[in-house]
A and B are shown apart, each in its own frame.
Chain A
């Protein structure tokens, strides 16, 4: 069990980190929406799925050059997130939270079934974007380029996001609204607009995650978002839902642990997904607020 070479370990860690970064990009969306609406946005994983289809259409079907396609995918996904909020959550602003939750579940089923009708249940293969799937060797470690791009992408986006939240007026409005809608309104903040921005940002990040995800697991079907979505939700809970840095740490932990588990205990690899849920249960029992719960910073 403990016989392996350093390059092997590094390779697995790189692998785990890549997955962790992808989880992080999606987990941030869960945590941001939770922060402002106290809603677990069940539709988030289906926004992720739709984003993969957008990418498939723009690149494979319409043969757009990939940089153009990427911009369009991010824009379309962000728009989808905003529209969902407007149509399904905004009318329930004053309703009990459970109604909102049920609406989110409804949107999730709607998107999954809509995708089945529009795109059929036949799995499609996800297009290669740039040279992300190309293998490179760093010393004795062989990884796909995306193992290098994903962390860079994640860090850049995270820094930009933290800047937005902590240093800009929009971010200040988000932090205020996440505490108290009424008082935020009294400050002259347009709370609906602020919530739209939250969905826009969360969905855009999920789109980036979806494209990179497709490079690693290049197959799309209407339920492709469900398992990664659950994992990312778990990652957000591990970190303390509502806390952005927590979601990132939770996602990286989950990604790395999962990969190490599969690698070292290959007999258990079939239980990889169950493992995430075991962590979730453990967290909920022993530290329900998550690793970073209850701190003040960056709660959105």
Chain B
């Protein structure tokens, strides 16, 4: 579905992503883990066109994405839940959901109900300006907003950041649920343990390079990964 090949991205001369290759198959949950500054966010932002690739290719359903503007990429069925929520603070919860469906022209009521069923909290607060929601509620809204575009590929940049452990559980089970409903997922997580548990495939990113790839279970039991990202001694 998505095939990234030898992707390089730099910010003003500094290479943040130094030639990575991986692919995401239809229906999978794929996760990227890695330390701060490894280039995870940069990779996703490049896929969706917010950052320009220096070289390499990103092919989605047979079509090259590099060079396309973000709004065109989003129209092809890819969406990104950005790092740090980024809900529109002065739009209401409902308006935020509606703007998530900006590219669509059909009836939204079913999708809104679907998002409300995933996040009942949002339904209670649908009239509230999003800026007045708690951090966790904003994160739910950011995910719900992304779902409103009916993405085929949903990319999430640290959706569990700053959430209480119980809510983190919820978010992960919702990610699974969304995936069961046919949405392919590319996930970045600091919470490597949780991410690898739900992911079919994981890639470890270190300073702009993929150093290790494998199934979620393999990586979970890999000694180096356990030491570096799961906080377990060898």
Chain A positions within 8 Å of B, measured between CB atoms, are 169, 172-173, 175-176, 179-180, 182-183, 185-191, 296-297, 299
Contacts and interface: CB of A to CB of B under 8 A. Distances in A.
**For A169, A180, A185, A297, which residue has the most chain B Cβ atoms within 10 angstroms?**
A185
A188 B88 contact: no
B223 to A, nearest CB: 38
A299 B50 contact: no
A190 B71 contact: yes
Contact of B91 (A176, A185, A191): A176
Contacts of B161: none
A172, A188, A191, A296, most chain B CB atoms within 10 A:
A188
B90 A188 contact: no
Interface of B: 48-50, 69-71, 74-75, 79-80, 82, 86, 88-91, 95, 98-100, 102-103, 129, 131, 145, 149
State the majority secondary structure of interface residues on A.
helix
B71 A180 contact: no
A297 B90 CA distance: 8
A187 B74 CA distance: 7
B74 A190 contact: no
B102 A169 contact: yes
A187 B90 contact: no
A172 B103 contact: no
Contacts of B50: 182, 185-186
Contacts of A297: 90
Contacts of B69: 185, 190
A297 B95 CA distance: 13
A172 B50 CA distance: 21
A175 B90 contact: yes
B86 A180 contact: yes
20 contacts: A172-B99, A172-B102, A175-B91, A179-B88, A179-B89, A180-B88, A182-B50, A183-B86, A183-B88, A185-B49, A185-B50, A186-B48, A186-B70, A186-B80, A187-B99, A187-B102, A188-B102, A189-B71, A296-B131, A297-B90
B82 A185 contact: no
A183 B81 CA distance: 9
Contact of A188 (B95, B98, B129, B149): B149
A97 B121 CA distance: 39
Contacts of A188: 71, 74-75, 102-103, 149
Contacts of A176: 88, 91, 99
A50 B67 CA distance: 38
Contacts of B88: 175-176, 179-180, 183
Contacts of A183: 82, 86, 88
Question: Could you say which of A182, A183, A187 has the most chain B C-beta atoms within 10 Å of its C-beta?
Answer: A187
A179 B86 CA distance: 10
A299 B129 CA distance: 14
